[in-house]
Amino acid sequence: MKKAIRKLISKLPIESLANPAPVVAVLPLEGVIGTSGRFSNAINISNLEEKIKSAFEVFNVKAVALAINSPGGSPVQSELIVMRIRELSAEKEIPVYAFAQDVAASGGYMLALAGEEIYAHQASIVGSIGVINSGFGYPAAIEKLGIERRVYTAGESKSLLDPFKPEVEKDVKMLKNLLKEIHDFFKTFVKEARGDRLKGVQKTVFSGQVWNGEEATKLGLIDGVGDMRSTMKEKLGDDVKFKYIKEEKSFIKGMLGMRAQNSSIADDVIKTLETRGEWGRFGL
């Protein structure tokens, strides 16, 4: 093995060994942010930790590029991922740049805030700085079917917004207050990351609305319209190389369809439907 490596190195031009081309480590962040199920992979700190570390350990890496394609999800997981990327960026003194692909919305946009600069395609969907909670109510349906709902709790708010019971005004108010607090956290996170680059009226920027790359640039949500390869070549030169950080999947686990612990098929189907709903909000 060592002989083969020496033989390979011996064939390289001396100048390439003395001055190796700069490398950009590309970290794909694709999918809904949250827990993973059998039928859908998700972005979370647990399954990204090793890949994030690997990105900053690539030989001669001069920058890390985040290739983001996410409609959002868990704000907690989004922040944990951002903070870990920022931590390693500061520790290794390697800059991070974020690139939105089809969509970087809600928690997906939060991921982009890990970058010193953010870019998007002109047709990318960017923004959705808001918080949403959605569901269904079935009290009339179970009444027609002659089904009796039995729920016993210790704690009056334990069955908050039970879909098989009529809405309670007190519970709805509690949920709205919670959503507002999370929204305030999101807004503060954006303000601290973008600072003076934010140009739009805050009421508009934080309304939950989405924009294309050009409009997002005008609002200061991103730094410009551009693709990853062209932008990084402008920054590091035409000889820059790109190293994609890929997920190492176990062949045996894939063949057996093994899924996360404590996850039932019913739970996974629900998660898959929710995932489709997240993408569907942006027409994807």
- CATH 3.90.226.10 positions along the chain are 20-128+209-280
Query: Which pLDDT belongs to residue 44?
Result: 93
Q: Is the pLDDT of residue 255 over 90?
A: no
**Which has more confidence, 226 or 252?**
226
Name 100's bridge partners: 68, 120
Q: Residue 223 is encoded by which pair of tokens?
A: 């730094």
> Hey, is 156 helix, strand or coil?
coil
Evaluate if pTM is beyond 0.85: no
Place of tokens 């601290």: 192
Q: What is the mean pLDDT of the chain?
A: 83
Which long-range contacts link 270-279 to residues 24+ away (Cβ below 8 Å)? Answer: 271/35, 271/37, 271/39, 271/40, 271/42, 272/37, 272/39, 272/40, 274/32, 275/31, 275/32, 275/40, 275/42, 277/134, 278/32, 278/71, 278/72, 278/73, 279/32, 279/71, 279/103
In the structure, what pLDDT confidence band is assigned to residue 251 with cuts at 50, 70 and 90? Answer: very low
What are 63's strand-pairing partners? 24
- The Cα 124–Cα 122 span in angstroms is 6
3-46 per-position pLDDT tens digit: 665 555 555 555 455 678 999 999 999 999 987 654 456 889 99
Provide the pLDDT for residue 265: 46
Q: What is the dihedral of CA 236, 124, 50, 257, to 10 degrees?
A: -140
**Helix (H) / strand (E) containing 68:** strand 61-70
Beta bridge partner(s), residue 25: 64, 243
Class of domain 20-128+209-280: alpha beta
Tens digits of residue pLDDT in 60-114? 999 999 999 999 999 999 999 999 999 999 999 999 999 999 999 999 999 999 9
Which range has the worst mean pLDDT, 62-66, 161-165, 257-261, 280-284?
Answer: 257-261
Structure tokens at 172: 């709805």
Helices (runs of H) and strands (runs of E) counted in the chain: 12, 8
Q: Is 256's pLDDT higher than 50?
A: no
State the pLDDT at residue 254. 45
